[in-house]
Chain A
């Protein structure tokens, strides 16, 4: 089975500072990989670097997705190949509604026109599953949204744009208990044997509904330890101190 995502020896810096110092990660279809680690370790950097964020530069290593080398590809080209990122701080874009934005994005990704009524029905269904208010689709993209609304909007986009690999960057931060449950639901709706998920998080609450997943500990720009569910529980209880020394 071909690996979905294969990252080898990835080094990346922002300005003069090196953040990723030889990171390795493989993800296969159907898998969920959780990335945990102390602040500043490079978790969000990893997500942004996979997506070729202009502020970060890759200095060594490679990223291969579905057999294609995407190390030097542009952000939108990577999106078109089937990767999605849920932002930690989604941008507010005035002047375009949530609905119209999703329609435009779907259009760009598939290259084909999107049926208005089909889309309306699909969005209504997904918004319902995510306990989102129906009128939110008419509001300007993320403008004036609360933290929770913004995160739910990201999950809505993920369900609509149907990527093969989704990266959730601290989607659970700032959410109340109910919202976390809703986001968990969204994640379960998304997962199937062809898709994969990378979840960057501090807390295990968002993982409660998941059965199997890999846990990687990212410290100082490298993955220093990999385990399964039980590792997450251990971190929950004891923190990262055991891993920092490595």
Chain B
């Protein structure tokens, strides 16, 4: 009996390769009316409503994945409650769990931000900061706005790209996402524009329904450069526990995009995010990812190296503590000549946490002279935890260099003794080694994020959270 196999739910199962063979039936969860309502409230053009409805149809036909962590606690019949606008859910600060509030304190989050992060503030007023950035960007022709505004103000541009990177039928949660998406960022960087300062999703004006089904669409035009940072180390709390977001990245010829994420969802969340980048000739995408928090995560950023000489690098760390199952990894498809990918993934598991690294490297016949190297290391801090590495390598040309290595083990006792002989306590020694293990990621982040990430690691080690 395979360890992480999900039992098929008792409902009709359709082969997703033939979506038109069967008619759809309305399920208990999500109805056409709810989706139409969402579109109407946002004042969307008809083409967007059509996409939502097609997604709903697809969602009803696809079945849940048969692999990965057990998602059976997700009650699909109550999906409709997940998509009600927040204004109808009267959350109060008092209802936010104390451990969340404690973490805010320990991480030094200012008062106003706390309410925003806890999802109880109606607006987090970053208006002033945001507007000054916005003015500067407009001068350069950069568009940075929330997704709903983009649909209204730049419909042609959005329409050209929306769903073209991550298609509707990719999997059940993407179909759900496209049916009920709400909030998210839209960025367009015109040709040749290089932005020195990173754009942070944090600074966007909070829209009432952001959080669970955000759609981020970023287009970096020829020769442009952008560093985009999403998330933050403070735990994002939401009563409703499903996050099925989607990130579509288009990197055109000769362009560069660095996409950094620190995710720290609260410990009740199911984080099923889909992120993909399509990279054209001579383009490059660097992914930097730190995953903490959430109860279950299924997170596999993907790069499609579509044009010649395209490159991608992924550096990621995930920390799975008690009652967490973090199933993460990276996917790359080499679809053109001279492409290269480098993957450096690390995971830490503690207190019964499960950290799984899943990956796919696919090198297609046309990807001659391609190079790919993957390294993944798992650090286990005790015997209750699990660390599994499940990489799939599909090489369809002899003219490619591919190597993969992985290690798993615990903190070396000799290293602990060495550090203790210099006066560090055992806990301090372990923390130093774990931070060192995570350093390839913290090195790639802007300083304040790196500092926050280190603080987060310390908190995780102390077991102060959850």
**Which A residues fall within an 8 A CB radius of B?**
51, 53-55, 74-76, 78-80, 84-85, 87, 90-91, 93-96, 101, 104-105, 108-109, 140, 157, 161
Contacts and interface: CB of A to CB of B under 8 A. Distances in A.
Contacts of B417: 51, 53-54, 75
- Across chains A and B, which 6 residue pairs bring their CB atoms closest together, nearest first? A95-B436, A95-B439, A75-B420, A79-B423, A91-B418, A108-B423
B419 interface: yes
A95 B421 contact: no
B435 interface: yes
Contacts of A104: 424, 432
Given A51-B421, A104-B424, 10 more contacts: A79-B422, A79-B423, A87-B418, A87-B421, A94-B436, A96-B435, A96-B439, A105-B424, A157-B422, A161-B422
Given A76-B420, A80-B423, A96 B436 contact: yes
Given A91-B415, A93-B419, A76 B436 contact: no
30 contacts: A53-B417, A54-B417, A75-B417, A75-B421, A76-B422, A76-B424, A76-B425, A79-B423, A84-B421, A84-B422, A87-B418, A87-B421, A91-B414, A91-B418, A93-B432, A93-B433, A94-B437, A95-B433, A95-B435, A95-B439, A95-B440, A96-B435, A96-B436, A96-B439, A101-B422, A104-B424, A104-B432, A105-B424, A108-B423, A157-B422
A91 B429 CA distance: 13
B412 interface: yes
Contacts of B418: 87, 90-91, 93
Interface in B407-466: 412-415, 417-426, 428-429, 432-433, 435-440
Nearest to B439: A95
Given A53-B417, A54-B417, A90-B418, A95 B437 contact: yes
A108 B420 contact: no
A108 to B, nearest CB: 4
A79 B439 CA distance: 27
Nearest to A55: B413
Please classify the interface of chain B as helix (H, G, I), strand (E, B), loop, or mixed, using the class held by over half of its residues: helix
Nearest to B428: A108
A224 to B, nearest CB: 28
Interface of B: 412-415, 417-426, 428-429, 432-433, 435-440
Nearest to B432: A96
Contact of A105 (B415, B423, B435, B437): B423
A198 to B, nearest CB: 14
A54 B424 CA distance: 15
A238 to B, nearest CB: 35
Nearest to A141: B436
B437 A85 contact: no
A74 B432 CA distance: 18
Contacts of A95: 433, 435-440
Contacts of A91: 412, 414-415, 418-419
A93 B424 CA distance: 14
Contacts of B436: 93-96, 140
B392 to A, nearest CB: 28
Nearest to B425: A76
A192 B436 CA distance: 36
Contacts of A105: 422-424
A109 B432 contact: no
Contacts of B424: 76, 104-105, 108
A119 to B, nearest CB: 15
A170 to B, nearest CB: 15
A76 B423 contact: yes
Contacts of B432: 93, 96, 104
A76 B415 contact: no
Nearest to A83: B421
B426 A76 contact: yes
A79 to B, nearest CB: 4
Nearest to B433: A93
A97 to B, nearest CB: 10
A77 to B, nearest CB: 9
Contacts of A161: 422-423
A44 to B, nearest CB: 13
Nearest to B434: A95
Given A75-B421, A79-B423, A80-B423, A94 B439 contact: yes
Which of A75, A80, A85 has the most chain B CB atoms closer than 10 A to its own CB?
A75
A53 B438 CA distance: 27
Contacts of A85: 421
Nearest to A107: B423
Which of B419, B421, B422, B428 has the most chain A CB atoms closer than 10 A to its own CB?
B421
B346 to A, nearest CB: 11
Contacts of B421: 51, 75-76, 78-79, 84-85, 87
Nearest to A161: B422
Contacts of A75: 417, 420-421
